[in-house]
Amino acid sequence: MSVFGSLSALRHKPIPPPPEHGARGYRDLPIAFNGAPNKEPLVALSDYGLRGENFYAQPRNPPYYAVIPGSITALSLRQGAAERLRDVNTKLAEAQLELFVFDAWRPQAVQAYFHDRWLPAELRKRKPHLSEAKLAAEVTNYWASPSTGADAPSPHATGGAVDLTIRWRGGDPLWMGSLFDDASPLAHTDRFETETDDAEFSFSNEEARANRRLLYWLMVDAGFASNPSEWWHFSFGDQMWAKLRNEPEALYAGAEASQ
């Protein structure tokens, strides 16, 4: 029997193609400001049995290899999102696996650093032919702009968005086919569902495909939405979640660290 046990079926279940326009326009969706979910506090993920380390608050974080300005060590989410992650972890425990969190609620200083400074500078070096308009569009494929108001919070500012992977309990992560935060098509969630490389399909690609499927279906079945551009990014209750799951409104507005 497979070491993945009853989870094996999810490793063979294809990830569906993303919506035609992805999450485009998600910040236009309304938010239920007065709903009960928006009153949920931010909670420490460690209190829900979840492991992780904030990727931006320590220097062993390729491709940056630096502590990011404004980063924090804490990993916290809205209570409803944390409870769902705990449920996913319970399923993974059957196969001696667990979630490992890279980032959760995020300060606006970190969001601004990557959206306004780091990624634009990196793209200008690597793709000097890009017009400013195309460069801005490419930046927003991977980094949402910082929150501009109560009606349009960046996903991680709501406490509903989380970046994570799966690892063997207390050990190595499953192979997902790219670095976390790889700002390229290699990070697209369904990247390995079709043969898009010139080379023949490899064991490495097949393993990444199976592991991305496992992560995708566990999270989606728990009520999260998958960001089509980033295999590691999932959200519950924010505007992107509402857009991708065809919900009439978002549950969470921006959250404060003391909330």
Domain-embedded: residue 150: yes
Domain-embedded: residue 249: no
Domain-embedded: residue 178: yes
The answer, yes or no, to whether the previous bond of 128 is cis (omega within 30 of 0) is: no
Predicted local confidence at residue 58, as pLDDT: 97
Domain-embedded: residue 256: no
First to last CA, the chain: 46
Domain-embedded: residue 257: no
Please say if 206 is a catalytic residue: no
Number of domains comprising the chain: 1
Domain-embedded: residue 192: yes
Q: What is the mean pLDDT of each run of 10 residues along the chain (259 residues)?
A: 93 94 90 98 98 98 96 98 99 98 96 93 92 91 83 96 98 97 93 72 91 99 97 98 97 85
The catalytically annotated residue of 230, 247, 249, 256 is: 230
C-alpha torsion sign, points 233, 237, 240, 243: positive
CA–CA distance, 73 with 105 (Å, rounded to integer)? 11
Domain-embedded: residue 253: no
The residue among 26, 22, 20 whose CA lies nearest residue 145 is 26
CA–CA distance, 186 with 53 (Å, rounded to integer)? 23
Domain-embedded: residue 251: no
CA–CA distance, 54 with 11 (Å, rounded to integer)? 27
Predicted local confidence at residue 108, as pLDDT: 93
Which structural domain, as residue segments, surrounds residue 49?
Answer: 5-244
CA–CA distance, 252 with 90 (Å, rounded to integer)? 25
Predicted local confidence at residue 199, as pLDDT: 57
Torsion of CA 25, 31, 36, 38, to 10 degrees: 70
pTM of the shown model: 0.94
Predicted local confidence at residue 196, as pLDDT: 60
Q: For residue 132, what is the domain's CATH number?
A: 3.30.1380.10
Q: Is 156 helix (H, G, I), strand (E, B) or coil?
A: helix
